[in-house]
Chain A
Amino acid sequence: MKTLLKLTGIKKSFGAVRALKGVSFELVEGEVHALLGENGAGKSTLIKVITGAHRPDGGAIEVGGEEISELTPAKAQELGIACIYQQPALFPDLSVAENIGLRLEKLGIFKRVGWGDWRQKAEELLARIGAEISPVAEVSSLSMPEQQLVEIACALGSGARIVIMDEPTASLTQKEQHLLFKVVRDLRAQGVGVVYISHRLEEIFALADRVTVLRDGESVGTNPVNGLNESQMIRLMVGRDVETIYPQAEHELGEVLLKVESLSCAASGLEGLNFQIRAGEIFGLAGLVGAGRTELARVLFGITPADGGSISLNRKLLEISSPRQAILHGIAYVPEDRRKHGVILEMAAAENMTMASHSRWFKGGILRKGIETEAGREFVEALGIKLSSLAAPGGSLSGGNQQKLSVARWLATQPKLLILDEPTQGVDVGAKGEIHRIVRDLAKQGMAVLMISSDLPEILGMSDRIGVMRGGKLVEIFEHADAEQVMAAALGSEEVKA
């Protein structure tokens, strides 16, 4: 078997965060090689190294037995590497056929476009993956899964030798999935190497020849799929014991603070959610990417208002149609995307901290720098934020301190319900522990905390109760659970539930 791709000792850091700590990976002709790991284990970074989007800090990349010193996206394409990202990069205003044609054919500017050829080619490729999409349809009229199918058709048509699929089935229907599997098998039969990333174990069993498990930026090992069963695989993924010591709850829980009943939001794909959180309780929300956790947070915070069901806080029924209203009711949301939504990078730390609570500090809307500085100092001290000065722009802080800044902004609103979305993503270990301590303290003071996290040990260690979401529904609420149970519920795997 010829080796198509060989990575040895790939290292990659982003600032203080070490995303890949020396990963080795090998792909041979005619195999489907699954890449498995929790969110944040380093899968997407590894993919980007293979497609040339990220330059590794160390390690060697060999394609077809030849060492490549500098891999750029263009070079990767030339070498026959194609990647289907989760987010399609298509032209929304153009037809499907044209999207595929423009991607596959590199025409000189005065060359005539072969509309008929493009259409035929698109029809053929779409038929091969069994997608029922008209080649003349405008891409903007397609649904997300349909757009993803178009992406897959592009990769298929490019004649790549190495195809990377990043959770290709995340939004596909059952039927589309089966067709996709057939495509993957066809590719394999043609000698193409497929790197297949998925959270769904049954897919890996159905498709993959070998599986490499990544954990915390390291490869735990490569195994033939035949030799493993589901629970072994889950154990490989979760693997480690809970090493970090999480601050434990030592206080009594208060009354029910947040009560959510049959909450729905069609636009975000949420359906019939029921749960409640008591004062002083940390409710952990686990699930895979795309399970609807962030969508739930956005509904509670009024960014995408609900269209059914009820939300009540302190027994009061709430109408939440904007973040402003949510804040007035005492709901705070520390968002997932820190750099885009959590902190305004160009503005001063102090300004960031008071941003969501202007009316509290500045009576009559007039800025008072003295009050701001004082408040800022208090938060800096309480949360242990490290910064050169309160006037330093948010972007000059490290990831962990930016996150604390974002938390400070929301504590300043004196919320009753605090929603945290991936609070420790991209944060170094020290800051992570501090953030955990802060969250626990806040709960102790009587706040209700809804914590979304893809970091299983964090969910297990911090939560008083754990809700698991899958496909826009809250499928399970555990009083006590271990990693395997949560993972099984998130994956929807019956076998390991026990």
Chain B
Amino acid sequence: MKQTGSIKALLVKHEMILLWVIAVEVILFQVLGQNFLTAGNVSNIFRHSAEIGLLALVMTPVILTGGIDLSVGSLMGLCAVVFGMLVKVYGLDPLVAAGLTVLVGALGGGLNAGLVAGMGLRPLIVTLGTFSLFRGLAEALTHGSKSYSGFSDGFLALGNSDILGVPAQIWIVLVVGIVIWFLVHHTTYGRSLRAIGYGEEGARYAGLPVKRNISITYVMAGAVAGLAAVILVSRLGEARANAGMGYELLAITAVVLGGVSIFGGAGNVSGAVLGWIALAILNNGLTRISDYEILGEKVSSVARELSGLLTGLLLIAALALAICMKMLAAKRSAKQT
């Protein structure tokens, strides 16, 4: 009977575990690596993972409803190309172009929303379709190879300068993070997302606006994917069709690692943020590992390549762990009755 209570306790514990993981990562990379805990590198960790952070933040509400959005990475590609064209071909001011790009992202998310909430189709196949569609549009617009560069210094500063000693884009992540955190944990909207994730039918019986709120999560995910695209272009100084490739997986990994249940309902934003940080540190730390030689191979060069592989393994491990915990809890509660 205490089962759900202990799940909640576990969630809190989950975040403690993540903090420990992060601490171990930091110590490990500081010992094994070069210049890991320097102001410059810490700033880099965040600068280079800001886009993933944004995607993880907006993926959280989607997964809370029991859905998934595989299209955010591709949508970033489309948005990056749109932004590049707006600035370089149509000569728009980067700020105006950024606004329009976010709008395009929201429209892309709106397509997902219409198909998922409006037509009641399964999110995985819908967003798999738009995954292909958005990337395909980006490639079509650039004829597969064209890229846009040569943006103004003012715009490039967004991705490459500091404000108050913190990478400029991290301020944006912070603002988005606070908004999402507030929406999820302090509004009736956020509460309805959890209710939907636990049981869509039950939420409908309680008179909650199920379709509308599911739609909002996908539109929001699209808009923020557009924003992430702008930031990415600013950091790299180049807009290409392959922008954000594979980012959806990193975002999902961060969220699942952060203890948000892939089946919906349970989880919180702070967990997703910690999941993101743990992932970001891992990716950066591996590139910092000093030269040791084991069996004639340079450890550093291998380690540098490992981050993608580890991300995949980590995702499976996190999922399997969550399932095992659930089974254990179920067994315990079965014993009690």
Contacts and interface: CB of A to CB of B under 8 A. Distances in A.
A340 B202 contact: yes
Interface stretch (A39-47, A132-140, A214-222, A351-359): A351-359
Interface string A309-340: 00000000000001110110000010100001
Contact of B266 (A322, A341, A346): A346
Give the size range of A's interface with the partner. 20 to 34
A200 to B, nearest CB: 31
A430 interface: no
Contacts of B209: 324
A366 B195 contact: no
B48 interface: no
Contact of A358 (B185, B188, B265): B188
A356 B189 contact: no
Interface string A363-405: 0011100000000000000000000000011011000000000
A256 B190 CA distance: 39
Interface stretch (B1-9, B37-45, B309-317): B1-9
A347 B186 contact: no
A335 B195 contact: no
Contacts of A427: none
B240 interface: no
Contact of A367 (B2, B8, B188, B195): B188
A37 interface: no
B187 interface: yes
Contacts, number: 80
Given A323-B207, A347-B195, A393-B5, A362 B188 contact: yes
Contact of B202 (A341, A358, A362, A396): A341
B327 to A, nearest CB: 16
A341 B201 contact: yes
B90 interface: no
A131 interface: no
A344 interface: yes
Contacts of A326: 207
B214 to A, nearest CB: 15
A392 B207 contact: no
Given A15-B337, A323-B205, A327-B207, A345 B4 contact: yes
Contact of A340 (B3, B201, B265, B266): B201
A393 B4 contact: yes
Contacts of A365: 187-189
A342 interface: yes
Contact of A395 (B4, B186, B205): B4
Contacts of B5: 392-393, 396
Given A345-B4, A356-B207, A367 B202 contact: no
A79 interface: no
Contacts of B190: 367
B204 A323 contact: yes
B229 to A, nearest CB: 29
Contacts of B207: 322-324, 326-327, 356, 413
Contacts of A303: 204-205
Contact of B208 (A343, A345, A355, A393): A355
A421 to B, nearest CB: 11
Interface in B1-60: 1-5, 7-8
B167 to A, nearest CB: 31
B198 A346 contact: yes
B150 interface: no
Contacts of B204: 303, 323
A496 to B, nearest CB: 38
Contacts of B199: 340, 344
A199 interface: no
A322 B195 CA distance: 18
A366 B187 contact: yes
Interface string B146-188: 0000000000000000000000000000000000000001111
Q: Which residue, of B194, B199, B265, has the highest number of chain A Cβ atoms within 10 A?
A: B199
B197 to A, nearest CB: 9
A366 B185 CA distance: 9
A311 B288 CA distance: 71
B191 A367 contact: yes
Interface in A396-447: 396, 409, 413
A367 B186 contact: yes
Contact of A356 (B2, B201, B206): B206
A318 to B, nearest CB: 15
A78 B270 CA distance: 53
Contacts of B192: 358
A371 to B, nearest CB: 12
Nearest to A343: B202
A413 B205 CA distance: 13
Contacts of A347: 194-195, 198
Nearest to B203: A344
A372 to B, nearest CB: 10
B191 A351 contact: yes
Interface in B89-139: none
Contacts of B266: 346
Closest 9 CB pairs of A and B: A393-B4, A358-B188, A341-B205, A323-B207, A327-B207, A355-B206, A365-B188, A356-B206, A324-B207
Given A323-B207, A344-B195, 5 more contacts: A327-B207, A335-B205, A342-B202, A366-B186, A395-B3
